[in-house]
């Protein structure tokens, strides 16, 4: 069961917020990917006075006087291939290369990305502009005319405020996909509730309501904005989340103005599954005998990032016969955590180095005494290993008293919106005035 509401704010954000600058296309032999078919999408050789014309604009450039070719970078295609195909000689390519560095890192050019070439509408058909799209919203314009220059721009982005609700039958990810919600929303929710909800223990019948922003370029969804409010019902317990800024950036708080950000994350992985829990008696799959397992195993693909669950100092990062590659972090005089069987360490995992909550300290593997890729997470309190999933951990600071009136106003407004969203399947769309 799912509920979906769309509120089109039509914000038209950042339309061609361009910053002209000298380009540096750097190393023109940089790989794009193989010469491929280009589509001529505009040939404006028809006399203007023979028809009622509408000005054509591509990337902020009036293109009525150009031939417009569009394609995507093919495998093993070089920048020189594209420019030579459009009659730009090596000498001019070289001149473009020499102006490199400051605007765009050409090593980030990737096959599969779109590009457009605007060419003279005459017998030479020589390229005048080359435009590359590094992602769905940004573009780089190379002006190839007399004085070569390059500038960045952003496409017109429309934001749509959405309200969704659902009941989980299998996983949060699949439930969101069923109601046409980007998987990025699942990631954002897991980050917001990382201190409150163990997403490895989500069960059938858990429910959620979310108000968030989808971002569109024309009719294509290109990303997800902020979560504006959320309610997650897990094991019949309600978890509200409201964003509020006290002057140092927005954080999420519950309905009682308590921060959702706690001293420790619930898990060292964003997603995965618990393959073995904390227990005093478990049959060891390698040693073939019963023994205590004083940690929690999280199974995940090799290479999955492992996060430090809290701020602290790395006190060990080494290999041992049974633990494999492991990292140990001292958080304070009370708590220490350990992460076992890593495939490799991250650059921040060095003894004596300070790490922050959420920093990647290594990657899932199966080194040491392990039958498959996982991280064995161990948690110490006052020198004794305890079950972190049942431990009552210290909270973080609530909303400052001087900001409570403002917070209450924000919370009350958003909570009213959340509370009227039904879990039953429904949908609506409301268009608001553009900003």
Nearest to 423 by CA among 118, 104, 165, 113: 165
pLDDT tens digits along 157-167: 999 999 999 99
134-138, long-range: CB < 8 A, 24+ apart: 134/104, 134/108, 134/109, 134/110, 135/222, 136/217, 136/220, 136/222, 136/223, 137/215, 137/217, 137/222, 137/223
pTM above 0.85, yes or no: no
Residue in this structure with the two tokens 């980050």, named with its chain if needed: 191
Q: Name the domain count of the chain.
A: 3
The Cα 294–Cα 379 span in angstroms is 8
Do both 186 and 287 map to the same domain?
Answer: no
Which CATH number belongs to the domain containing residue 352 in this structure? 2.70.70.10
In a domain? residue 340: yes
Q: How many other CB atoms are found less than 10 A from the CB of residue 322?
A: 12
The Cα 228–Cα 60 span in angstroms is 32
Residue in this structure with the two tokens 């990647």, named with its chain if needed: 360
Do both 165 and 210 map to the same domain?
Answer: yes
What residues make up the domain containing 382? 273-386
Tokens found for residue 249: 């950036």
Per-residue confidence in pLDDT tens, the chain, 435 aa? 555 555 444 433 333 334 444 333 444 433 333 345 677 775 544 333 334 445 677 888 988 899 999 999 999 888 889 999 999 999 998 888 777 678 887 777 899 999 999 999 999 999 999 999 999 999 999 899 988 888 889 999 999 999 999 999 888 888 998 889 998 999 899 889 988 887 877 889 999 999 999 999 988 899 999 999 999 999 899 999 999 999 888 999 999 999 998 889 989 998 778 888 777 665 556 556 666 778 899 999 999 999 999 999 999 999 999 999 999 999 988 899 999 999 999 998 999 999 999 999 999 999 998 889 999 999 999 899 999 888 887 777 899 999 999 999 999 999 999 999 998 644 444 433 233
Do both 128 and 165 map to the same domain?
Answer: no
> Of 106, 135, 154, which residue sits at a domain end?
154
Q: How many other CB atoms are found less than 10 A from the CB of residue 32?
A: 25
Do both 258 and 193 map to the same domain?
Answer: yes
Do both 324 and 360 map to the same domain?
Answer: yes
Do both 188 and 103 map to the same domain?
Answer: no
In a domain? residue 268: no
Do both 174 and 124 map to the same domain?
Answer: no
pLDDT tens digits along 338-367: 999 999 999 989 999 999 999 999 999 999
In a domain? residue 96: yes
Nearest to 335 by CA among 305, 309, 353, 366: 309
């Amino acid at each position: 069961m799912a509920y979906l509401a769309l509120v089109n704010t039509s914000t038209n954000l950042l339309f061609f917020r361009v910053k002209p600058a000298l380009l540096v296309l750097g190393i023109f032999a940089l790989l794009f990917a193989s010469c491929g078919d280009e589509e001529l999408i505009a040939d404006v050789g028809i006399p203007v006075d023979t028809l009622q014309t509408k000005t054509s604009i591509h990337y902020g450039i009036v293109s009525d006087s150009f031939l417009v070719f569009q394609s995507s970078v093919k495998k093993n295609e070089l920048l020189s291939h594209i420019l030579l195909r459009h009659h730009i000689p090596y000498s001019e390519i070289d001149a473009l290369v020499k102006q490199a560095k400051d605007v765009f890192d050409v090593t980030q050019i990737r096959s599969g990305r779109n590009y457009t070439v605007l060419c003279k509408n005459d017998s030479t058909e020589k390229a005048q502009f080359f435009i590359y799209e590094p992602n769905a919203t940004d573009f780089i314009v190379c002006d190839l005319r007399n004085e070569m220059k390059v500038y960045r721009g952003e496409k017109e982005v429309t934001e749509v405020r959405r309200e969704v609700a659902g009941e989980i039958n299998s996983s949060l990810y699949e439930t969101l996909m069923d109601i046409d919600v980007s998987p990025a929303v699942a990631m954002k929710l897991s980050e917001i509730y990382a201190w409150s909800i163990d997403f490895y223990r989500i069960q059938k019948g858990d429910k959620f309501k979310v108000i968030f922003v989808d971002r569109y370029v024309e009719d294509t969804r290109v990303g997800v904005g902020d979560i504006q409010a959320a309610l997650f019902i897990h094991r019949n317990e309600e978890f509200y989340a409201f964003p509020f800024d006290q002057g140092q950036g927005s954080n999420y708080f519950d309905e009682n103005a308590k921060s959702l950000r706690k001293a420790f994350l619930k898990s060292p992985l964003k997603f995965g599954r618990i393959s073995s829990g904390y227990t005093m008696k478990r049959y060891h799959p390698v040693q073939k005998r019963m023994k205590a397992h004083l940690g929690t195993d999280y199974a995940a693909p090799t290479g999955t990032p492992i996060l430090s669950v809290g701020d602290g100092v790395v006190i060990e990062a080494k290999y041992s016969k049974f633990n494999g590659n492991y990292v140990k972090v001292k958080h304070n005089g009370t708590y220490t955590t350990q992460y076992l069987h890593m495939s490799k360490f991250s650059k921040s995992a060095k003894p004596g180095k300070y790490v922050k909550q959420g920093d990647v300290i290594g990657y899932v593997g199966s080194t040491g005494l392990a039958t498959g890729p996982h991280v064995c997470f161990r948690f110490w309190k006052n020198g004794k290993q305890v079950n972190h999933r049942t431990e009552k951990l210290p909270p973080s600071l609530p909303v400052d008293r001087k900001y409570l009136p403002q917070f209450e106003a924000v919370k009350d407004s958003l909570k009213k919106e959340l509370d009227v969203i039904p879990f039953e399947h429904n949908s609506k769309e409301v268009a608001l005035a553009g900003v």
